[in-house]
Amino acid sequence: MTIQQVATEAGVSPSTVSNLLNGRSHRMLPETRQRIERAIDKLGYRPNRAARQLRTGRNTTIGLVVPSVGNPFWGALARHLESAALAEGYHVLLCNSERDPRRERDYVDELWADGVHGVVLCSSLPSLEHVMPLVERGLQLVAFDRTSQAGDPASLVSISVDNAVGSQLATQHLTDLGHRRLAFVSGALASVNRKERYRGFMAGLEQAGVDPATSVRAPIKGDADDFGDVEASELGRAAAAELLALEEPPTGIVAINDMCALGVCRGLRDGGLEVGKDVSVVGFDDIVLADLYAPTLTTVRQPMKEMAAAAFTQLRSRLDDSGPTQGQSLLFRPELIVRESTAAPS
Amino acid sequence: MTIQQVATEAGVSPSTVSNLLNGRSHRMLPETRQRIERAIDKLGYRPNRAARQLRTGRNTTIGLVVPSVGNPFWGALARHLESAALAEGYHVLLCNSERDPRRERDYVDELWADGVHGVVLCSSLPSLEHVMPLVERGLQLVAFDRTSQAGDPASLVSISVDNAVGSQLATQHLTDLGHRRLAFVSGALASVNRKERYRGFMAGLEQAGVDPATSVRAPIKGDADDFGDVEASELGRAAAAELLALEEPPTGIVAINDMCALGVCRGLRDGGLEVGKDVSVVGFDDIVLADLYAPTLTTVRQPMKEMAAAAFTQLRSRLDDSGPTQGQSLLFRPELIVRESTAAPS
DNA sequence: CGAGGCTGGTGCAACGATGCACCGCATGTT
DNA sequence: AACATGCGGTGCATCGTTGCACCAGCCTCG
């Protein structure tokens, strides 16, 4: 089914069909338009995307590069972004970097080679240098879950929750409950948001007058490579075991994200402790499972749906080149969701 | 960067570059080949996929349509399928049907219009009629998590765990422990695998000599539309509440999948019962969280990695048209993983 | 009456890669 | 000498769509 066949069927030229298809039908006889529309219906014609893209250089696919679809948090982002995109006739191509910087770059390269001009990148990396060449060539980039940094390309849009504030909320919640020996559990602080969350944790301590030097244990495990998300739970579990081996184990634990927090809970249980009683645990993200777990998990919620919608909107307006070319940062407000995993120290 | 520029740089014709790129370099001077390779490197040339596809009608993208990326089970499939595909230079386009048959068909249509000739479909539907027209036109389809049915297209490949056996293993495990009042919790039995799992449950009861008529409660909630996967957990939670309201609540519960099982556990906890002591719960899938939950969840494992690899292999061999055109069914063996959520009735 | 403007279209040359048919040359065969 | 064969490449038409440049026919106006 080509545009030529439709044209023949309707008794017009391919150009005319193309004009109709591309909204250039101002000065077209209603009768002609109907003949074409009928022909399209009759033949079940759909434009060939490859040809269209070859010709125009544009397309309606955006890329989404996430660290790990194994983490329900990213699954949720994929869902929401896809919904937003779908509503406007866009498609989402999902790529899973497994937090491997090289894979991340390869994916962005591939997307670009595929003619994808807009990418939502959930990067693990503080520097976006590895994708700069493409940004210079016109790739529209939205960094998700990563606040903007010095050295970022001027056109970059950053969308993120305020990680520092979120983490501070979590920490403050624990100190408000009376905890004084706190720990922060995370993989390598190799990404911007992790650093931010750590900063929020420290700020929370300071505000409560807890001396970081003596009362904080922050077993930050792994090097920059050891960085997974499914592994986040394993990491949490191992970290918990390590913390329990201390002379004075912490009574409150802030985890880098919910998956990690669940691992911590598991590890605490391994050690015979009861979460929400012997030890308090706070997560980050508010994945669906936070409310299913036993005990239900106190956590910091990211307004995912809004963030995903914003990511799409930003990208779209730039792809249409109707939008601004200047980059910007959108910082969303996190919200503390208190559940059963936190309580006053016993 | 076009093939023409590479050709000029290397001092050959575009055809020659194309020949090299497409493995037709048998009779090419090693020296020529090197000149071309150097030119490619120097210019950072990557073939334009749209042009290539327009010309050949082929491409290296496969589609993956899943019911819900919100469920980590499907996230895991996406990960493994992508790994397998990536290793061979293929891409995976992920689509989220939310178990909406119409959306499912629309996606498959879209993929086809995009020139995608191979799709892994995790369908909610017993009938594949809605995609038959495309299959007749040459779409290669792999049905995942769905055994083959009468009326399926001849070319269809089905990949699934043996759901009936898995479910029977789960049920048997409970009866072996001494449970006699069992329940099966599921959304509408609107998909093939759900029906199969229910069948396995009934078979398990029969084998243990438990009279289904008197001792089984199977609150199968919702109509065919109410079918989500994130909602699976909510459904489980609600079902648990309902079961607890019975005069004689069941002591053992088989859930349609892990997310549902976690919901059930949550619901039981709401009712003040302890899972793995007062009530036993078995899930299905063995998602990562099964081993994190408190208590850890007894479940039926699907060999995901192998299944995903098989799906890709099957698809690939058919897309190369080197493989068989005849369809086939691959049924994988499920494995019962016993953890803490099951015990003898108290 | 001829210049200019509007209407409702159409012609055509791209976009970049592909792969069959073909070519000139050197060597071997009858 | 005439013809086949192998070698190392190249020429060219083609995939389906797009959108600028253009055109014929009719109307208007000075």
Say how far A59 CA is from D24 C1', in Å.
36
- Please give the residue range of the domain that contains residue A133: 59-161+304-333
Say how far A12 CA is from D20 C1', in Å.
19
Residues 6+ apart with CB under 8 A from B244: B267, B268, B271, B273
Q: What is the 3-state secondary structure (H, E, C) of B53-96?
A: HHHHCCCCEEEEEECCCCCHHHHHHHHHHHHHHHHCCCEEEEEE
Cα-Cα-Cα-Cα torsion B245, B247, B251, B257, nearest 10 degrees, comes to: -40
A-chain residues near B263 (CB < 8 A): 292
Identify the band that residue B133 occupies on the pLDDT scale cut at 50, 70 and 90: confident
In a domain, B80, yes or no: yes
Pair B282, B254: CB distance under 8 Å? yes
Same domain membership, residue B211 and residue B169: yes
Compare CB distances from B289 to A69, A289, A295 and report the shortest one's residue.
Answer: A289
A248 CA to centre of own chain: 36
In a domain, A343, yes or no: no
Q: How high is the pLDDT of residue A218?
A: 58
Write the DSSP assignment of A288-326 as a string of letters.
GGGGTSSSPPEEEE--HHHHHHHHHHHHHHHHTT-S-SS
Chain A interface, mutation test: which of B59, B62, B65, B69, most A Cβ atoms within 10 Å? B69
Q: Which nucleotide is nearest to B24 (CA to C1')?
A: C19
pLDDT by residue for chain A (346 residues), tens only, comes to 899 999 999 999 999 999 999 999 888 999 999 999 999 999 999 999 999 999 998 888 899 999 888 788 998 999 899 889 988 888 888 888 888 888 888 888 888 877 888 999 998 778 888 888 888 888 899 999 988 888 899 999 999 999 999 999 999 999 999 999 999 999 888 888 899 999 999 999 999 999 887 666 656 655 544 455 557 888 899 999 999 998 889 999 999 999 999 999 999 999 999 999 999 999 999 998 999 999 999 999 999 999 999 999 999 988 876 667 788 999 999 999 999 999 999 8
The nearest CA of chain B is from the CA of A214 a distance in Å of 31
Is A52's CB less than 7 Å from nucleic acid strand D?
Answer: yes
The nearest CA of chain B is from the CA of A211 a distance in Å of 33
Same domain membership, residue A173 and residue A71: no
Cα distance between residue A103 and residue B207, in whole Å: 51
In window 253-272 of A, residues with CB < 7 A from nucleic chain D are none
Say how far B17 CA is from C15 C1', in Å.
19
Same domain membership, residue A92 and residue A14: no
Same domain membership, residue B296 and residue B180: yes
The nearest CA of chain A is from the CA of B175 a distance in Å of 26
Strand, coil or helix: A41: helix
Same domain membership, residue A251 and residue A128: no
Q: Where are the alpha helices (DSSP H) in A11-160?
A: 14-21, 30-43, 49-56, 72-86, 101-113, 132-136
Q: Is B82 on the interface with A (CB under 8 A)?
A: yes
Q: How high is the pLDDT of residue A230?
A: 57
Q: Which nucleotide is nearest to B50 (CA to C1')?
A: C16
- Test A115 with B48 for CB contact under 8 angstroms: yes
- Test A70 with B75 for CB contact under 8 angstroms: yes
Is B19's CB less than 7 Å from nucleic acid strand D?
Answer: yes
Compare CB distances from A72 to B49, B75, B295 and report the shortest one's residue.
Answer: B75
Same domain membership, residue A233 and residue A282: yes
B295: preceding bond cis by omega (within 30 degrees): yes
Same domain membership, residue A313 and residue A294: no
- Test A292 with B54 for CB contact under 8 angstroms: no
Q: Is A323 on the interface with B (CB under 8 A)?
A: no
Q: Is A339 on the interface with B (CB under 8 A)?
A: no
The CATH number linked to B14 is: 1.10.260.40
Lowest-confidence pick of B73-77, B97-101, B314-318: B97-101
Cα distance between residue A298 and residue B88, in whole Å: 43
Total structural domains within chain B: 3
Same domain membership, residue B264 and residue B187: yes
In a domain, B271, yes or no: yes
Cα distance between residue A139 and residue A315, in whole Å: 10
Same domain membership, residue B243 and residue B193: yes
In a domain, A321, yes or no: yes
How many C-beta neighbours within 10 Å does residue A315 have? 26
The CATH number linked to B281 is: 3.40.50.2300
Of A252, A239, A287, A240, residue with least CA distance to A171: A252
In a domain, A346, yes or no: no
Cα distance between residue A169 and residue B46, in whole Å: 48
B-chain residues near A95 (CB < 8 A): 82
In a domain, B344, yes or no: no
Above pLDDT 90, what percent of chain B? 59
How many C-beta neighbours within 10 Å does residue B253 have? 33
Of A288, A213, A278, residue with least CA distance to A244: A278
Q: Which nucleotide is nearest to B23 (CA to C1')?
A: C19
With b for 16 or more beta-carbon neighbours within 10 A and e for fewer, the B79-111 pattern comes to: bbbbbbbbeeebbbbbbbbbbbbeebbebbbbb
Is A321's CB less than 7 Å from nucleic acid strand D?
Answer: no
In a domain, B53, yes or no: no
Of A169, A166, A146, A168, residue with least CA distance to A157: A146
Q: Is B58 on the interface with A (CB under 8 A)?
A: no
Q: Is A292 on the interface with B (CB under 8 A)?
A: yes
pLDDT digits (tens, 9 = 90+) for B278-337: 999 999 999 989 999 999 999 999 999 999 999 999 999 888 766 677 889 999 999 999
Q: Is B265 on the interface with A (CB under 8 A)?
A: yes
Q: Is A273 on the interface with B (CB under 8 A)?
A: no
Compare CB distances from B50 to A54, A95, A262 and report the shortest one's residue.
Answer: A54
Pair B196, B166: CB distance under 8 Å? no
Same domain membership, residue B114 and residue B212: no
Same domain membership, residue A179 and residue A155: no
Q: Is the pLDDT of residue B214 over 80?
A: no
Q: How high is the pLDDT of residue B125?
A: 79
Same domain membership, residue B10 and residue B110: no
- Test B115 with A50 for CB contact under 8 angstroms: yes
Nearest CA in chain B to A287: B70
The nearest CA of chain B is from the CA of A53 a distance in Å of 6
In a domain, B338, yes or no: no
Nearest CA in chain A to B294: A294
Q: How high is the pLDDT of residue A193?
A: 87
Q: Is the pLDDT of residue B39 over 90?
A: yes
